[in-house]
Structure 1
Amino acid sequence: MLALRDLQKTRLACGALLIAALALAGCSSQIADLTPADAQAHPKEPGAYLPVHDLPPDRDQATIPPDKRAKIEAELAAARDRQAVAAKDAK
C-alpha cells in the first residue's frame, strides 16, 4: 500500500513537471514571429535629424536683441522679488 502511494506521488510530480515544461516552452516563441506581416521595415539610411552634438548654423548669433534681453531680465527679477515677499508674508 505504501509503494502504491509513492508511485502515485511520482506520477503526479512527473505530470506537473511535464505541464510546467510545456507551459514554459510556449513562452519561448520568437519576437520576430509576433510582428504583423504588413509592418514597415526600418529605413537603412539614417534620418534627417542632426546628431546630438551638432548645433544649428545660426546658433552663434544672438536671437534676442540686448535691449529686449535686459527688459526681460528686469521683469524676471521683479517677479522673483515679488514671490520672495509673498513667501515671507505667507509664513
Structure 2
Amino acid sequence: MLALKDLQKTRLACCALLIAAAALGGCSSQLADLAPADAQAHPREPGSYLPVHDLPPDRDQAVIPPDQRAKIEAELAAARDRQATAAKDAK
C-alpha cells in the first residue's frame, strides 16, 4: 500500500510539472507578433551608433554669456523664493 501511495504522488507530481510546463510554454509567444501593425520597423543592421569622438563646433566657448547667465540665475532664485513663500503660506 505504501508503494502505491508513493507511485500516485509521483504521478501527480509529474502531471503537475507537465501542466506547468505547458502553461509556461504558452506564455512564450513571439513578442513581434504582439506589436501593432503600424509600428516602426527596426533597422536590419545593428551597431549604428552615433560617432563618439565628433564634438560639436565651438565646444570650448561659453554657450551663455556671463551677464545673461547671472540674469537667469537671479530669475531662478527669485522663482525659488516665491515658491518657498507660497509653500509656507499654504501650510
Give TM-score scaled by structure 1 length: 0.47
Which structure has the greater CA radius of gyration? 1
Give TM-score scaled by structure 2 length: 0.47
